[in-house]
């Protein structure tokens, strides 16, 4: 049993450790398991903790990072569809899910608490960046996160990973090279809370609920990306996006409700489609990358585990409220 004194020391670090493990693993559920594993390992090693060698926070990051590295041994990376091959030109292609792929999952902003308190620097939790990180070898990924995101000194990272500062600096350089061009520049991406972003997402919601494909397309950048894990297809450009949305409304009807949320410090919506009984059934979670030019990417998740992580009600009543 974990005593109150131990919990008082480690408890304040749980949220940031969850974010750290998510960055390493690309899965909210696995990150939660690894945080629990970290706390159990810390409890077992509490008598050996030396405050003269490291702060409690640094000690916990060492345990968590090494737990993640152990968990990643022999595992396939977690991709998005755009990381597996080129875009499709066929917007009528079968929407067959690839259930054998361990897809990247989004992170609910509700789990962040106060992002400022967790030092969630602008852009460091974006889906595109997390997806790019998954391509890196696990140790390079760890070094990149500890040095560039969390800003641990090289010597401290070396101690965490039981290596040398020179090896840390070398791994960091290789990791930075591996990420070049992997995601939009920081200044090119807007985030929730910006009035212009909120207004654009409101217009997207209005157009979607009206099944107005032309209105949706008008809000996109010219090279907008649409991808839909666990379906491995993805589409590039306004034309393909629009043709696919024509298919969505033809298949599912024009009656939708959208509920605002946020994921990976990006705007997001839950989409509900009206069923035969008049209730609106949870269909997808959509996570937007918004730039000054419009919506540059929409990652559309249709996964019960993702819905559960975001605590999304499975049904809205005819008035748009949660049901059941």
- Is 62 within a domain? yes
Q: Are residues 151 and 271 in the same domain?
A: no
Say if residue 77 is in the same domain as residue 149: yes
The answer to whether position 303 is within a domain reads: yes
pLDDT at residue 226, as a whole number: 98
92 and 158: one domain? yes
Say what the pLDDT of residue 120 is: 60
* Domain co-membership, 89 together with 205: no
Number of H helices, E strands in the chain: 12, 7
Residue 14 in any domain: the answer is yes
Whole-angstrom distance, CA of residue 50 vs CA of residue 56: 9
Maximum alpha-carbon separation in the chain = 65
pLDDT at 167: 97
Kindly give the pairing relationship between strand 294-301 and strand 280-291.
antiparallel
pLDDT at 119: 45
Do 168 and 193 sit in the same domain of this protein?
A: no
Domain boundary among 149, 179, 209: 179
Count: domains in the chain: 2
What pLDDT score was predicted for residue 195? 86
Along the 324 residues of the chain, how does pLDDT read in single tens digits?
457 788 888 989 999 999 999 999 999 999 999 999 999 999 999 888 888 888 999 999 999 999 999 999 988 899 999 999 999 999 999 999 999 999 999 999 999 876 554 446 667 899 999 999 999 999 999 999 999 999 999 999 999 999 999 999 999 999 999 988 665 555 466 666 688 999 999 999 999 999 999 999 999 999 999 999 999 999 999 999 999 999 999 999 999 999 999 999 999 999 999 998 899 999 999 999 999 999 999 999 999 999 999 999 999 966 556 655
Q: Do 300 and 222 lie in a common domain?
A: yes
CB distance 64 to 145 below 8 Å: no
Q: How far apart are alpha carbons 317 and 320 in whole angstroms?
A: 5
Q: Are 226 and 298 contacting, i.e. CB atoms less than 8 angstroms apart? A: yes
**Does one domain contain both 198 and 170?**
no
Per-residue pLDDT reduced to its tens digit, 206-252: 999 999 999 999 999 999 999 999 999 999 999 999 999 999 999 99
Strands 220-228, 294-301: parallel, antiparallel or unpaired by DSSP? parallel
Kindly state whether residue 76 falls inside one of the protein's structural domains: yes
Residues 242 and 196 in one domain: yes
What CATH number has the domain bearing residue 308? 3.10.450.50
Q: What is the pLDDT of residue 253?
A: 95
Q: What is the pLDDT of residue 180?
A: 81
Domain of 151 in residue numbering reads as 4-179
Domain end: 129, 159, 179, which one? 179
- pLDDT on residue 239: 98
Q: 270 by DSSP, 3-state: which?
A: strand
Query: Does residue 42 form part of some domain?
Result: yes
Does residue 321 sit within a domain?
A: no
Note whether 161 and 194 are same-domain residues: no
Q: Please answer whether residues 303 and 124 qualify as being in contact, where contact means their C-beta atoms are separated by less than 8 angstroms.
A: no
The residue assigned the tokens 């494909």 is 213
Contact (CB, 8 A) for 187 and 123:
no
DSSP state of 264: T
Q: Do residues 89 and 209 both lie within one domain?
A: no
231 shares its domain with 207 = yes
Residues 10 and 151 reside in one and the same domain = yes
Tell whether 323 is covered by a domain.
no
Give me the half-sphere count of Cα atoms (radius 13 Å) on the Cβ side of residue 281.
Answer: 10
Q: Which of 126, 153, 179 is the endpoint of a domain?
A: 179
Considering the domain boundaries, does residue 322 fall inside one? no
């Amino acid at each position: 049993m974990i005593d109150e004194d131990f919990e008082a020391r480690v408890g304040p670090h749980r949220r940031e450790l969850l974010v750290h493990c998510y960055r390493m693993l690309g899965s909210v559920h696995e990150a939660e398991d690894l945080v629990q594993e970290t706390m159990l390992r810390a409890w077992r090693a509490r008598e050996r903790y030396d405050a003269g060698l490291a702060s409690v926070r640094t000690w916990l990051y060492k345990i968590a990072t090494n737990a993640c590295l152990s968990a990643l041994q022999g595992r396939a990376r977690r991709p998005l569809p755009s990381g597996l091959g080129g875009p499709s030109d066929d917007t009528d292609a079968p929407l067959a899910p690839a259930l054998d792929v361990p897809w990247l999952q989004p992170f609910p902003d509700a789990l962040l608490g106060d992002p400022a308190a967790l030092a969630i620097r602008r852009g460091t939790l974006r889906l595109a960046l997390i997806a790019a990180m998954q391509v890196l070898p696990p140790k390079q990924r760890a070094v990149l996160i500890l040095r560039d995101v969390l800003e641990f000194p090289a010597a401290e990272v070396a101690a965490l990973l039981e290596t040398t500062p020179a090896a840390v600096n070398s791994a960091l350089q290789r990791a930075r090279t591996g990420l070049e061009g992997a995601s939009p520049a920081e200044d090119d991406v807007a985030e929730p809370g910006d009035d212009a972003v909120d207004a654009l997402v409101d217009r997207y919601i209005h157009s979607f609920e009206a099944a107005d494909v032309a209105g949706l397309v008008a809000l996109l950048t010219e090279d907008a990306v649409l991808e839909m894990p666990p379906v491995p297809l993805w589409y590039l450009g306004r034309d393909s996006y629009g043709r696919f949305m024509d298919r969505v409304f033809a298949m599912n009807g024009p009656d939708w409700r959208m509920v605002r949320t946020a994921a990976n410090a990006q705007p997001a919506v839950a989409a509900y489609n009206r069923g035969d009984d008049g209730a609106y059934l949870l269909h997808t979670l959509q996570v937007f990358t918004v730039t000054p030019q419009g919506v540059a990417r929409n990652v559309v998740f249709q996964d019960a585990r993702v819905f559960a992580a975001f605590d999304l009600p499975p049904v809205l009543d005819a008035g748009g409220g949660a049901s059941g």
